Amino acid sequence: MDYASLFRLDGKHVLVIGAGSGIGRESALALAAHGARVTCADRDLVAAQETAGSELTAYELDVLDDAAVERAAAELDPVDVLVFTAATNVRKRILDYTSEEFDRVVSLNLRASFQLIRAFGRGMAERGSGSIIGFSSIRGTTVEPGQSVYAATKAGLVQLLRTAAAELGPSGVRANAIAPGVVETPLTAQIKANKGWYDAYAQKGALGRWAQPSELAGAVVYLASDAASFVTGSVLAVDGGWTAVDGRFDPPN
């Protein structure tokens, strides 16, 4: 076993969806640094091009468009590793939620994920190998007021990926979820703008701070690589200890 190259991705084509910003952008750069040929896909083509620079490939993709997803699967084939980070959230109490808001969050966070797994998983299964990596959240496990629909989609994504692992595993395809804690991304800008809210979240985890998007990239590289060749159907928490620590009171010795 060549352990020195365990995390190398030379010869692999990786598609990162949501590569225009945040975790997706850092994941694309980290995967490329480990030798992968990376396609940076995003609904915002300009943002994807900024991530891609002169070394990587940019691709415009709206994951809410089923035909566009199928077209991408055909045009980009073969894709050895699929990473998707795109998500949205509407922070409202259940009784204040509208049906339109519910549909909007579920459509992007869950339905689009289903379509991506189907479109790209098919080719992986036919070739006999592949890695699918989706982004869940601590909200797939722990909840708070105002996170109902987002939390439901993130928990649902875990079960969707676990089922994909079970169904595609015999064909050599792995499927896993990464569950970040609080990360400074455009999705959490609303929280960062409120110091009390921001500080409360920072104090909840064991490390006492928020994560930067780059701190999720290592988990993506790991699950994409042969270092995780026997890892499938799993949820990798990268949450600074959020789900491990109660965090509400530090009792005296």
The 10 Å Cβ neighbour count of residue 151 is 20
Inter-axis angle of helices 22-33 and 217-224, nearest 10: 50
User: Which entry of 3, 97, 150, 222 is annotated as an active-site residue?
Assistant: 150
CA 19 to chain CA centroid, Å, is: 10
CA 157 to chain CA centroid, Å, is: 10
Rounded Cα distance, 156 and 116, in Å: 15
Which structure tokens are listed for 9?
A: 């991705």
Q: Is 150 a catalytic residue?
A: yes
Rounded Cα distance, 64 and 108, in Å: 7
The DSSP secondary structure of 152-189, one letter per residue, reads HHHHHHHHHHHHHHHHHGGGTEEEEEEEE-SB-SGGGH
What are the residue numbers of the active site?
150
